Structure 1
């Protein structure tokens, strides 16, 4: 997959204004059940037929109860028919009672849509360490209509916490003469860091995909997209990315041997990449999306490491917020990334403005650099290590006064 995402090709697919229920046979919705004061806080997603499922979970050692239950379901058959999601309460660090509550959510939703409970996944996001108000959730689940109705906008709203906007992406492509749709939505704003964070992402497709190929594709794609974003360096207990492929498009089974595999993989990667960038752009208190593109590395891993280290530097993030082209902070982050870099081959550009050339300060206009940082809501930092042909891209945001304000009052 192409790592210089700002040069991405869309030759394989067509971007649309669709949503999580655009692929054939998927339904979604949301409602307010009383976990939050007013906003939707219970969402559901399901397929008319059991779908091949794959998932990637947070690396935090304290994995929340919903993750454990979703793992159980997917491990049993490799398929899911639906996912029930609540926001406002993470059901994390809640012991055996939390596990019981997650299982009840699975049981109730399975009964409501008429499937075996092993075909249901569970997700939660919100405050850690508080028991779920399960009576309210049960009442909410009983209000879910089964087939024929879909309200994806309400699903997108129901999964949000401190997010300021809904996040979605959708594409169509042709495989075996059939129109295939791939779509996704996500939530995430704070506690975002590479190796997953307090984010949930759901991807649906009506393509028919081999189980092993789907899981491998998801893992590779997450490594190149969701694991390449950071907001604040915190990794949460509840993150997961789940993909469901129900096969209703009618294509032949996709695998690495299929002639259209590359088309599907590129389309899938686009969805994940767009959602990842939207999460980074919506960092708590953020005013700018920051993209760090590293080229000239000896290995892809080294390029990704440098990109993630620079995007995660609080000093770099603060400088972007202050429109200060302080490239010394970028140098500093590269220096502690753990990647061996020859400073004599290192070059850096901020928005196309060269600030370092072959290890030496470049001659540039401070006013021009300041204007670029101040006037644009997407800031691009290009780093050429001058050592090889590998590359990597990471996304983040600036660090603002509002980040502290939001997190200082999160529970009040």
Structure 2
């Protein structure tokens, strides 16, 4: 196993070199183009093109009777491009909606492609052997000539994006502004459509028509979780696409029974699901932030409750039973003791003779929370004409997020009131 990994890393075998280089180019170009397809909200267009290229491959073979990559790519590009034009025509000239048009064109072209493929297989032509691999892809069948074709098309895709980057971005994010600038919007949209077709066509031999749309969109989806800046998204997507291609090729090399294309897509999908979880705006990060917020709100509610007790009895020490009597927190005395220990660590409380006392810092915090709560209650009753017995819950939620700036504006707006709607003093 170790020797095989070394051989793979050094690319000693010619076939391995072709597969790795071709799949890296595929991962790079598909990911970069996929970012623009995703931002255009045309993710399903990649799926349509991927299925629509099959009849193009078959027709190119029927005409040339050879499986030369360039000929097959030309045929695939024509039917893939035609499929998108047909979707736009159906959407713009009939009552059929876009999702229905996509489904109709996808199934129609793919069905026609399968019919042609079946016909070719029954002709008995020796040259058609392996043509069915375009359905699911077979990267191990790539040769040196394929790599040169991949390299040329990938370079072309990247060059077009580099040259027309500003125009593409303007059209995607503000089409009306692009028209006002006099940009050739239709031509640019046609060019973007062509890029999507070429990116899909580029990968059908390695990944197959069934999975190519996933390789086009998945790295872009994963990258979108990490940034809002398009250049950063493109860079991350390109890295994910190339990493997926490299690791998929490695797994297939180490375990020959494992197909390369599906593993490339699987690795990209794992990267996407991982991004959903751990990216800055991912699920786990949001859950952690929500938990921290809930804990902070709970601690502040306990501090505020302690202050209410101190208002009545001054800072003469508070028994833990008094806290539970003052407010029902729906947890046990033992749980409350753990929370009070946290407040001690934050230097908001200290204990003496099994009673809790505010530090100066804790007293100020409790006073401010109480002031914010009562100011907001007064604001809701005076300015929004809400009944005093209906404002407590809203004030309970808003007091934890009011900033010092909003606090100062509230004080000024309400003319520094002395009492809240329930005739309780507002501490300053």
More helix by share: 2
Query: TM-score, normalized by length of structure 1?
Result: 0.24
More strand by share: 1
The structure with more radius of gyration: 2
